[in-house]
Structure 1
Amino acid sequence: MLGDGQRDARIPVRGRLRRGDRAGVGTVRSTRTGEHRRRLRNQHPRARGAHRRAHRFFRAARVRSHQAGWAASTEPRHVAGPGRIWVPRRDRLPRGAAPYDRLVSNPEISIRVRICFFNRSYWPDVAATGQLLTELAEDLVASHGCEVSVVAGRPLTGSTGAGGGMPWWRLVGRETHNGVRILRANGTRLRPRRFAGRALNYVSYFLSAAVASLAVKKPDIVVSLTDPPIVGLLALWTARRTGAKFVFLCEDIFPEVAVLLEDFHNDAVNRTLDRVNRYLLAHADAVVALGERMQRRLVEEKGADPRTISIVHNWADCEAIAPASKDNAFARAHGLAGQFVVMHSGNIGLSQNLDVVLDAAGRLRDRPNLVFAFVGDGARRQALETSAASRGLDNVRFFPYQPKDRLDDSFATADVFIVSLKPGIEGYIVPSKVYGILAAGRPFIAAVDPSCEAAAIAREHRCGVLATPGDADALAARVLALYENRAETDAMGRRAREAAWQFDRRRAVKAYHDLFVSLPGVARVNSPVSREARV
């Protein structure tokens, strides 16, 4: 056996091997090359530069003839030491940095997360849940660099665009609005004044959304709201199918909210909704409650794990809604500029107990320049209008939903707002209208249970007064006290504006983003604003 560098004189030596015979790792190509070539294997050592460099073996330095008389260097040509360490460019010191330069850390790195929301109401729907979800989705895209998609339903506002004009045979429409990809699930758009209409809207949306979910690109997080209450099952299935995290955002707690329905009561349906709600809470990677009272109800009554629950309040855009003068276009157009206006703004539905407001208006009908205004729409509006007309309440006015660009004027027209709920449902529902009231710098009367979020805000910030829910006399007394003491009314309005910044839109969206990126396995794609170190 001959080793490297040894040669058998009986075997002729080739000057060089063909290029394919030298693979750089000391082997001869494995094709059938003949016996004489196999015997040359150990007589022709291959070049192993990469091997020598890896193990710190170097050839001796060559000295050319004109360098023979040069003085030898006092340092060795190669100094043993650790290998080279690669440092990312953003972590290197900039060129020309002096020893005492102050180093500034890199700017904050945002995490790009793929998020998919499931909720029937979305832009251009004017319901409060749809408007809040629209702001959340668009801000996650614009301010935090997320990729957001929404599996939404057709708007119930009769819009011919933005999904309103979809043909009946198309199950799913696709559109993009302000960077958010919308999968518009087709369905019926019946008026939600009767249970049959609401149920058919829910079921048709759910079936079309199941088809739309198959087109969802692989997300990091799937978020379900509660419109309709069974949509969470579809969102959870999508999350498990795609390997995403599932977040359950509890806008309402069922079946307690379903008990409010005046035209339908079914124990079997309520038990089913209760099981669905408990199942979603048990299998969610994170749960969002809208307040402390809702959190307690989820833990104490639904068996939710308190470690998975985060509290993120609803919000108002304090830059879009700001205190303004009563003398505005909306007030002048409707003859309200010189009136003391007590306003309910938002959903005119089953949970607000607005019949009590009509009763209070009847008790104050003889007060000059005192008007009760209802701005919005919902299942109870027609019945309330009929009741006010039959009772001859000339001090009660009804107005439709106002577009967002005129919301400032609508809010500024009010002197005081009413936030009311039926007794016993606080925490199952959190009235989101209170945050817009704070941003507008107006006081409010909280005709709710003392443990409700609205009551807690009124007490803590001294920006409102409380009234016993369902008590028309107490409500009328609170309205009359504010009507007769305009200075205190204005002072409470100023304190309301100061409190509004705690519930600002940007602060709430950041809380959602921080929650999403804190989930295990989500922060996988970094999108730094700048990769260069700064001095």
Structure 2
Amino acid sequence: MADYQLATDRPLKVLVVGLNYAPDFIGIPKYTTELCEDLVRRGHVVEVITAPPYYPAWSIRAEYRGAWRTETRNGVKIIRCPLYVPPQPNGLKRLLHHISFAASSLPIAVGSALRMRPDVVFAVAPSLMSAPAALLAAKLSGAKSWLHIQDFEVDAAFELGMLKGDGARRWAERFESGLLKGFHRVSTISESMRRLLLRKGVAEEAALEVRNWVDVETIKAWPSSETSYRRDLNIPADHAVALYSGNMAGKQGLETLGEVARLLEEEHVKVTLLLCGQGPLRGVLEATCVDRHNVRFMDLQPIEKLPELLATADVHLLPQRAEAADLVLPSKLTGMLASGRAVVAMADPGTGLATEVEGCGLTVAPGDARAMANAIAGLATDKDERDRLGVASRQRAEQRWRMSAVIDGFESQLKEALT
């Protein structure tokens, strides 16, 4: 092991093992990429073991198909490992998807660690299946090991019905528990999720909160009337825009939005729902909204268009299934807040999401289309309240979610882990 008395005085070497990375940019890959690139800008050396880009379309881009490949992106060396990507993912196919990356990344992670001799091997979950490769790489190279949990995927998979069976759950939880206890540090993205780590047996001193973040210099509050999306999508000038932008999959509870759209249209509320994203549930949602005149669909927009897209909203929508509460904290919340808009979220009182949204928007019970429609209608007709909540959202983003401050804290924790 290296002499870590000098750890705070020299650049660190970090090997990252994570399923998703840029040019994927929705959700987890956005944060992994920004973290790695910011660490490089701070003078550290970072290498990444990851998969080819495929998310959220669940299709590997043509130029990335094939065997292992190496590239450098903004100073970060990236080794991409092949994997199985099911076009229509379900529980079993998702499991095989994760196992395939774990198998292809293991020898690369170990080989890279022995060559690089990193100070820290940093694993990002999902996918928890690839965490053993990171743990083995750390042990063989003498590095510290760190597991960062964006989603509690084992709990979520069974709670949301993607995987079933008491025996399978017990096996998965034992697997998870053994992994968690094997890492020097285990972090997650909210205090409520950190408390879950403690309940799962992670020691108090090893369990850390490392929040997601937003670049408040890039995502800003500006008038929605000035964006091109309203014009291009033929949204009536007197309509408020309620925006959902992100992955369209099971844990979001997006099915409710079709009923929300019906209620708003039948009650002649001047609101257009703008649903932007891709994923397994998009087709279901499109079929539900086929007769709705107050809904617009768009594919995911380029990352450089994100500030304008978020500014198009008068209200942001954040549906989530009750079963996912405190197992995930939707990463899209950071951009919503930074854009200076009110948020309507599905979250039960006392959950982590409800706590984050309090004072910046409204919360309704998960799955309650009537309550969400009422909340949207109320904000659509009360501009003063929308503006008040929007100002509070922007302030919260600047105070709690500023990218530079969060990564400053992570860098300090990284160095402390080496002492």
Q: Shared fold (TM-score greater than 0.5)?
A: yes
1:344 alignment counterpart: 244
How much does 1:393 deviate? 2.1
1:471-507, Cα deviation, whole Å (9 max, x unpaired): 1121111111101101110121111111111201111
Q: Could you tell me whether the CA contact under 8 Å between 1:163 and 1:173 is conserved in 2? A: no
8 Å CA contact retained: 1:427, 1:452: yes
Question: Is it true that 1:176 corresponds to 2:72 in the alignment?
Answer: yes
Q: Which moved more, 1:357-366 or 1:124-133?
A: 357-366
State the secondary structure of the residue aligned to 2:208: strand
Where do residues 403-482 of structure 1 align in structure 2 (5 Å cutoff)?
403-459=302-358, 462-482=359-379
Q: CA deviation at 1:181?
A: 0.7
Instruction: State the alpha-carbon separation in 2 of the partners of residues 235 and 393 from structure 1.
Output: 48
The CA distance in 2 between the partners of 1:454 and 1:510, in whole Å, is 24
Alpha-carbon distance between aligned partners in 2 of 1:126 and 1:261, rounded to the nearest angstrom = 24
The C-alpha deviation readout for 1:73-100, integer Å capped at 9, x for no partner, is xxxxxxxxxxxxxxxxxxxxxxxxxxxx
> What does residue range 487-502 of structure 1 map to in structure 2 within 5 Å?
487-501=384-398, 502=400
Report the counterpart of residue 49 of structure 2 in structure 1: 151
Aligned to 1:365: 265
Q: Deviations over 1:50-77 (max 9, x none)?
A: xxxxxxxxxxxxxxxxxxxxxxxxxxxx
Do residues 232 (structure 1) and 131 (structure 2) align?
yes
Q: How does 1:15-34 map to 2 (within 5 A)?
A: none
Is 1:244 the counterpart of 2:140? The answer is: no
The one-letter code sitting in structure 2 at the alignment partner of 1:173 is: R
What is the CA deviation profile of residues 393-413 of structure 1, one whole-angstrom value per residue up to 9, with x for unaligned ones?
Answer: 222222111111100111011
1:270 corresponds to 2:166: no
2:190 is the counterpart of 1:291: yes
Amino acid of the structure 2 residue aligned with 1:351 = K
- Alignment of structure 1 residues 181-220 onto 2, 5 Å: 181-213=77-109, 214-216=111-113, 217-220=116-119
Residues 504, 158 of structure 1: alpha-carbon distance in 2 compared, 3 angstrom cutoff: closer
Q: How many residues align?
A: 403
Secondary structure in 2 matching 1:417: strand
Residue 215 (structure 1) shift: 2.8
Q: Which residue does 1:321 correspond to in 2?
A: 219
Indicate the residue corresponding to 2:276 in structure 1.
Answer: 375
Structure 1, unaligned runs of 5 or more: 1-108, 522-535
- Kindly indicate whether residue 210 of structure 2 is the aligned counterpart of residue 312 of structure 1: yes
* Aligned-partner SS, 1:165: helix
Question: What amino acid does structure 1 have at the position aligned with 2:84?
Answer: T
Shift of 1:163: 7.7
CA-CA distance at 1:157 after TM superposition: 5.1
Amino acid at match of 2:155: E
Note the C-alpha offset of 1:165: 2.2
Structure 2 vs 1, CA of residues 234 and 510 (structure 1 numbering), >3 Å: closer, same or farther?
same
Q: Distance in 2 between matches of 1:378 and 1:269?
A: 26
The 1:110/1:406 distance shift into structure 2, 3 A limit, reads farther
* Aligned pairs (5 A) from 1:51-70: none
Residue 3 of structure 2: aligned partner: none
* Worse-matched range after superposition: 512-521 or 336-345: 336-345
Q: CA deviation at 1:428?
A: 0.9
Question: Aligned equivalents of 1:403 and 1:110: distance in 2?
Answer: 38
* CA RMSD in angstroms, aligned pairs only: 2.0
Alpha-carbon distance in structure 2 between the residues aligned to 1:225 and 1:218 = 19
What do residues 295-346 of structure 1 show as CA deviations (whole Å, max 9, x unaligned)? 122212x122122111121111111111122221222211237231111111
Query: What letter is aligned with 1:145?
Result: G
Q: TM-score by structure 2 length?
A: 0.91
What are the ranges of 5 or more consecutive residues in structure 2 without an aligned counterpart? 1-7
Give 2:380's aligned residue.
483
Letter in 1 for 2:77: R
Deviation at 1:270, TM superposition (A): 2.6
- Structure 1 counterpart of 2:413, from 509, 515, 519: 515
Deviation at 1:223, TM superposition (A): 1.0
Deviation of 1:158 (Å): 9.7
Q: Distance in 2 between matches of 1:229 and 1:520?
A: 23
1:122–1:152 contact (8 Å) kept in structure 2: yes
CA distance in 2, matches of 1:348, 1:504: 26
Q: Structure 1 240/192 Cα, relative in aligned 2: closer, same or farther at 3 Å? A: farther
**Does structure 2 retain, via aligned residues, the 8 Å contact 1:426–1:451?**
no
Shift of the alpha carbon at 1:166? 4.0
Distance 1:451 1:114 in 2: 39
How many angstroms apart in 2 are the aligned matches of 1:347 and 1:260? 19
Identical-pair percentage: 27
SS at match of 1:256: helix
Query: SS of 2:174's equivalent?
Result: helix
Deviation at 1:201, TM superposition (A): 2.6
Letter in 1 for 2:203: D
Alpha carbons 2:18, 2:123 under 8 Å: kept: yes
- Partners of 1:369 and 1:167 lie apart in 2 by 46
CA shift for structure 1 position 210: 1.3
CA distance in 2, matches of 1:268, 1:398: 41
Amino acid at match of 1:175: E
Q: Secondary structure at the match of 2:409?
A: helix
Partner SS, residue 128 of structure 2: coil
Contact 2:126/2:153 (<8 A) preserved? no
Structure number, greater radius of gyration? 1
